[in-house]
Amino acid sequence: MNPYSASHEGPPSSPLVSVCIANYNGMEVIDDCIQSILNQAGSIPLEILVHDDASTDGSVDHIKALYPDVKLIESPCNVGFCIANNRIAAIAKGHYLLLLNNDAALLPDALGTLLAEAQRLGRPAILSLPQYDADGGELLDIGSRLDPFYNPVPNRDPARNDVGMVMGACLWVDRSLWRDLGGFPDWLGSIGEDMYLCCCARLAGHPVRALGTSGYRHRVGRSFGGGKVVAGRLATTFRRRTLSERNKTFVMATTCPAPVVLLLLPLHLASLLLEGGLLSLLKLDIRYLQQIYLPVFGMLFRHGNEIRMSRKATQNNRRLDSADFFAVFDCWPYKLRMLIQHGLPRLK
């Protein structure tokens, strides 16, 4: 069967789409997630795979009892989001992978919308859909652009489909492209792995697109806390901010084209020291500098070999010139814009 053909009549020899869910203590949300897949419009051949990351809330028994057709991987220990998805993708049989958070739920026409765009493009790509807040229903983003320091800048223009990255909460990718890019770096853990995959794909000349129709609902911040504006202020956690600063620095160091990286990376590191020092001073709390910003420099030292190897691989696969790569970047630093609009972030 040609995966880019518009017709899927008759039983396929294998599923066309593999929906991959990394679950950890998701008892409260997993039904909404799986049911949204089962309730998809049309008759797209698919399989559902769940990697349970040593949950302690009864998720495994619940999934086994209610969803016997789900392929369940039970991890004896907690390995994190990146390894979980890498394990699922390794056994997935579909031509396409849809990475879906356990706290996300698809709108009824989501898979059909994604499949139609994949068929229209006719080549490997990374795709996603509009993201809506599961509680309030407001549109959060239609993919994101990036600022000079690799901070995601939410896009809300349905006509602007080519973006810098799409969220890993709902990320569609050809399995062949996932394999060629090497999946997620195991040690990243979570946060920024989606940015890494999207930047690698764009460097290699593959589309990264967020479609303006259909969508998914997402309980943003359930896993790590915060990550969104609450009562006019950005609410987040030390853990989330630490992973974000560390991992986006890794993405910049490995994907930013030369010679721009020689200017941008030192400027980024200097801005982190300045930001951490000012936050610690204004908040009278040294933890901001110690727990969030200084670990970035430790990461560059400890993972130097991984960074050099990843950079060599991404740059060797590069098919996009610098001007096209930076076409989805905004010049204005997003953190500064958020500071003006919402003040200092509230961390807990």
What pLDDT score was predicted for residue 221?
64
pLDDT at residue number 26? 95
Sheet strands side by side (includes 139-141): 104-106, 216-218, 131-133, 139-141
- pLDDT for residue 100 is more than 80: yes
Contacts (Cβ under 8 Å, ≥6 apart) of 112: 40, 41, 42, 44, 214
pLDDT tens digits, one per residue of 154-194: 999 999 999 999 999 999 999 999 999 999 999 888 899 99
**Minimum mean pLDDT among 119-133, 170-184, 196-210, 331-345: which range?**
331-345
Q: Binning pLDDT at 50, 70 and 90, where does residue 338 land?
A: confident
Collapsing DSSP to helix, strand or coil, 162 comes out as: strand
Q: Is the pLDDT of residue 1 over 80?
A: no
134-138, 148-152, 196-200: least confidently modelled range: 134-138
Q: In this predicted structure, what is the pLDDT of residue 341?
A: 83
Pairwise CA distance, residues 27 & 8, whole Å: 34
pLDDT of residue 5: 43
Residue 214 predicted with pLDDT over 60: yes
With bands split at pLDDT 50, 70 and 90, how would you rate the model's confidence at 199? very high
Domain ranges of the chain: 17-218, 228-347
Q: Can you say how many angstroms the Cα of residue 273 is from the centroid of all Cα atoms in its chain?
A: 26
Q: 110 with 218: CB under 8 angstroms?
A: no
With contact defined as beta carbons under 8 Å apart, do 237 and 291 qualify? no
Helix and strand numbers, DSSP H then E, in the chain: 13, 16
What string of H, E and C letters represents the secondary structure of 296-339? HHHHHHHCHHHHHHHHHHHHHCCCCCHHHHHHHECCCCHHHHHH
Confidence of residue 41 (pLDDT cuts 50, 70, 90): confident
Q: Please check whether residue 161 is in contact with residue 212, taking contact to mean a CB–CB distance below 8 angstroms.
A: yes
Please tell me the distance from the alpha carbon of residue 170 to that of residue 107, in angstroms, as a whole number.
Answer: 11
- Mean confidence (pLDDT) of the chain: 91
The whole-angstrom separation of Cα 16 and Cα 22 is 20
Q: What is the DSSP letter of 292?
A: I
317: number of CA atoms within 13 Å, CB side? 22
> Residue 213: helix, strand or coil by DSSP?
coil
Contact 171, 85 (CB under 8 A): no
> pTM to 2 decimals?
0.92
Specify the CATH class of 17-218 in words: alpha beta
- 251-266: per-residue pLDDT in tens? 999 999 999 999 999 9
For residues 19 and 98, what is the distance between their CA atoms, to the nearest angstrom? Answer: 5
